[in-house]
């Protein structure tokens, strides 16, 4: 089973700052890496799929990069609504796993 | 607009079987795509339970495989989850979602909390 590690566990930033979230896989997942945003009491929302493709309706301030084992989600300038938990997810050998999440909170 | 809605008992007794259904609207399951179940224990992260293709092919999380059955009913445009021999560790919010290409989940239901308790 491929294990995903996310860092940092918590990121404390101010609105307008740049957020850089990391997701590392225990072995290569090619580009089958997605990112989700989850706010309290809500279902996860797809942000990025196939490592770098923004989902429908996702603002351009969200971008994804990486391949193989190292991936990054960047939020170029944090808006108040961006403070949430972010999960990465991979699919390999027809199995999915999720990372433990990174909480982005207000500094 | 694709919408998914989970339904089923909110309380299940230990050792019994948890049964949930996901009704899909705005898209015909028989047209294609994979569909899946994901759960989230209170205050914890996301765990994939399993997925099904519209034709009925299934894929399960190895850690749950012995207890999970996912099925699809294209005539009702819905798919279902059964999880047997539940314990308190199975208490979670259960989500259903669409998985295009079996690579990610683009549409999610709102989730339903299932508590395992006597």
| Chain B residue whose CA is closest to A97 | B48
| Chain B residue whose CA is closest to A29 | B103
Helix (H, G, I), strand (E, B) or coil at B66: helix
Supply the pLDDT for residue B57: 94
Q: How far is B74 from chain A (nearest CA, A)?
A: 22
Cβ atoms of residues B95 and B111 within 8 Å: yes
Calculate mean pLDDT across residues A98-103: 98
Q: B6-48, pLDDT tens digit by residue?
A: 999 999 999 999 999 999 999 999 888 999 999 999 999 999 9
Predicted confidence band of residue A88 (pLDDT cuts 50, 70, 90) = very high
Of A32, A87, A95, the CB nearest to B61: A95
Name every residue whose Cβ is closer than 8 Å to that of residue B4 and which is 6 or more positions away in sequence.
B22, B23, B24, B25, B96, B97, B98, B107, B108, B109
For residue A55, the 8-state DSSP code is P
Q: Chain A partners of B103 at a C-beta cutoff of 8 Å?
A: 32, 34, 49-50, 91
Distance of CA A95 to the CA centre of its chain: 19
Predicted confidence band of residue B101 (pLDDT cuts 50, 70, 90) = confident
- In angstroms, the CA A84 to CA A89 distance is 16
Average pLDDT over all residues of chain A: 97
Interfacial B residues in 35-94 facing A (CB < 8 Å): 36, 38, 45-48, 51, 59, 61-62
Supply the pLDDT for residue B32: 84
Asked if A89 lies within 8 A of B36 by C-beta distance, the reply is no
In degrees and rounded to multiples of 5, residue B9 shows phi and psi of -60, 140
Q: B56-100, pLDDT tens digit by residue?
A: 999 999 999 999 999 999 999 999 999 999 999 999 999 999 999
Q: A35-82, pLDDT tens digit by residue?
A: 999 999 999 999 999 999 999 999 999 999 999 999 999 999 999 999
Asked if B45 lies within 8 A of A50 by C-beta distance, the reply is no
- In angstroms, the CA A84 to CA A86 distance is 7
Inform me whether the C-beta atom of residue A64 falls under 8 Å from chain B C-beta atoms. no
Question: Alpha helices of B1-118 — where are they, by DSSP H?
Answer: none
Q: How far is A39 from chain B (nearest CA, A)?
A: 12
Lowest-pLDDT range of A24-28, A92-96, B93-97? A92-96
Q: Chain A partners of B105 at a C-beta cutoff of 8 Å?
A: 34, 36, 44, 46, 89
Cβ atoms of residues B72 and B22 within 8 Å: no
Query: Can you give the C-alpha Rg of chain A in angstroms?
Result: 13
């Amino acid at each position: 089973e491929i294990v995903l590690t996310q860092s940092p566990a918590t990121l404390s930033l101010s609105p307008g700052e740049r957020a850089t979230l990391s997701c590392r896989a225990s072995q290569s997942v090619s580009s089958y890496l997605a990112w989700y945003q989850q706010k309290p009491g809500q279902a996860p929302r797809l942000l990025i799929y196939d490592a770098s493709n923004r989902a429908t309706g996702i603002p351009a301030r969200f971008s994804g990069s990486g391949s193989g084992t190292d991936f990054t989600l960047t939020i170029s300038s944090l808006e108040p609504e961006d403070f949430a938990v972010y999960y990465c997810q991979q699919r390999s050998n027809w199995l999915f796993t999720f990372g433990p999440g990174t909480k982005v909170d207000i500094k | 607009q694709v919408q998914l809605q989970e339904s089923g008992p909110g309380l299940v007794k230990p050792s019994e079987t948890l049964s949930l259904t996901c009704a899909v609207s705005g898209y015909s399951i028989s047209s294609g795509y994979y569909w899946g179940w994901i759960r989230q224990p209170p205050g914890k992260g996301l765990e994939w339970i399993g997925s099904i293709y519209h034709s009925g092919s299934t894929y399960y999380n190895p850690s749950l495989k012995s207890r999970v059955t996912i099925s699809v009913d294209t005539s009702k445009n819905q798919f279902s989850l059964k999880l047997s021999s539940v314990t308190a560790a199975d208490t979670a919010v259960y989500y259903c979602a669409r998985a295009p290409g079996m690579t990610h989940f683009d549409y999610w239901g709102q989730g339903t909390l299932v508590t395992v308790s006597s």
